[in-house]
Amino acid sequence: MDEVSGEKLYKLISEQEYYLIFCDLKGFPKNSKAKEIETYEEFMESDCQFVLNLVDSSYTWIYCKNQTTIKNLHAKVLALGYENLEYLTEENKGNDTLIAW
C-alpha cells in the first residue's frame, strides 16, 4: 500500500489527464496510521474517512463519514450532469469489497 499526502495527490492528478480503469483510494486524517481497508465494516471501524472505488472505468462507489462532504459532493456531481446516482446506506451499501481489483 502506497501512502501519499492529499497535497501530493492533488499535484499528481492535476499535472495531466488520466484514464482510470481501476482505482481505490482511501483517505485518512493526518497523523493517523493508514491501513488497508477491504470491507465496509473495516471502513466503519477504522480512522479512514473517505473511500473512492472505481471499477471498469464506469462503476464508482464513494464512502464518506462526513455527511456535509458527501452531500456537497453529491450536489456537485449532479450539477456536472451525471445520472444514476444514489446514496449508499446500511441497507444498500453496494459492493461488499472496497478493493477495486
Q: What is the pLDDT of residues 30-74, one digit of tens each?
A: 889 889 999 988 999 999 999 998 888 888 888 999 999 999 999
Asked if 84 and 94 count as a contact pair (C-beta separation under 8 A), the reply is no
Task: Give the global pTM.
Answer: 0.81
- Judge residue 8's burial from the number of C-beta atoms within 10 Å of its C-beta, 0-12 exposed, 13-18 middle, 19 or more buried: exposed
**What is the per-residue pLDDT across 8-38, written as a single tens digit (0 to 9) for each?**
989 988 999 888 889 889 999 988 988 999 9
Helix ranges, the chain (H): 6-14, 40-45, 67-79
Q: Using pLDDT thresholds of 50, 70 and 90, give the confidence band for residue 86.
A: confident
